[in-house]
Structure 1
Amino acid sequence: MTVTITKSAAEELNKKIGDQKGYLKVKNVTEGLACGAGVPTLYFVPLIDETKDVVFETNNRPVYMEKSELIFFDDELKIDYSDSVNSFQLKSPQQIINGRMSFII
């Protein structure tokens, strides 16, 4: 799997994260959903679990994902930021996976 962070997403991440120490993680949140499919959400977390998380080197900063959730994502992912909807987006060449992806610190 490859993950790319666009220039606009990198700029927005830098604004929101600042000098804080931590890790960028994409997590498939299923809590409270009846379908169980999950909603991809972007997190900035203080710690990662090296036994459960996989690191993907990007053109900007490493992105972590849980091994058990990799089956939910396409082989090529792009983290973007849209000024028009004021939100991060998770895309692949085949689809927009989440056009209004939450960012939680």
Structure 2
Amino acid sequence: MKVTITKSAAEVLNKKIGDQQGYLKIQYVTEGLACGSGIPTLLFISSKDETKDVLFETSFRPVIVEKSQMINFDEDLTIDYSDSVNSFQLKSPQQIVNGRMSFIM
């Protein structure tokens, strides 16, 4: 899997995260949703779980995806930011995975 963070997403993340140390994590959130449904969400966490998480280097910050959730994502992912919808977006060459991805700190 490859994860890319666009320049516009990096600029917005810099403003939100500042100098805090930690990791970005793409998580397929299913809690509270109908069976089989899930929403990719971008989290900022302070540490990673060495046994469950896979770390992907990017030109901005490392991104984590849980091993068990990698099946839910395409092989090539891009985290972008859209000014028109004022939201992060998760994209792949095949699709827009989440056009209004939440960012949770």
User: Across the two proteins, how many residue pairs are aligned to each other?
Assistant: 105
Q: Aligned-residue CA RMSD in angstroms?
A: 0.7
For structure 1, which segment, 92-101 or 57-66, has the greater mean C-alpha deviation from structure 2 after superposition? 57-66
Q: TM-score, normalised by structure 2?
A: 0.97
Q: 1:74 aligns to what?
A: 74
Q: 2:97 aligns to what?
A: 97
| Distance across 2 between alignment mates of 1:41 and 1:83 | 18
Q: SS in structure 2 opposite 1:49?
A: coil
Question: What is the CA distance between 1:58 and its match in structure 2?
Answer: 1.2
Q: Which runs of 4+ in 1 moved over 4 A?
A: none
| Distance across 1 between alignment mates of 2:21 and 2:45 | 9
Q: 1:6 aligns to what?
A: 6
For structure 1, which segment, 90-99 or 51-60, has the greater mean C-alpha deviation from structure 2 after superposition? 51-60
Post-superposition Cα deviations, 1:47-77, rounded to whole Å, max 9, x if no partner, equal 2101000001112211000000000000000
Counterpart amino acid of 2:15? K
| Distance across 2 between alignment mates of 1:7 and 1:35 | 35
| Distance across 2 between alignment mates of 1:58 and 1:77 | 11
Q: 2:46 aligns to what?
A: 46
Q: SS in structure 2 opposite 1:85?
A: coil
Q: 1:57 aligns to what?
A: 57
Q: 2:30 aligns to what?
A: 30
Q: SS in structure 2 opposite 1:68?
A: helix
Q: TM-score, normalised by structure 1?
A: 0.97
Question: What is the CA distance between 1:21 and its match in structure 2?
Answer: 1.4
| Distance across 2 between alignment mates of 1:83 and 1:5 | 15
Identity of counterpart residues, as a percentage? 75
| Distance across 2 between alignment mates of 1:44 and 1:94 | 26
Instruction: Tell whether 2:14 aligns with 1:20.
Output: no
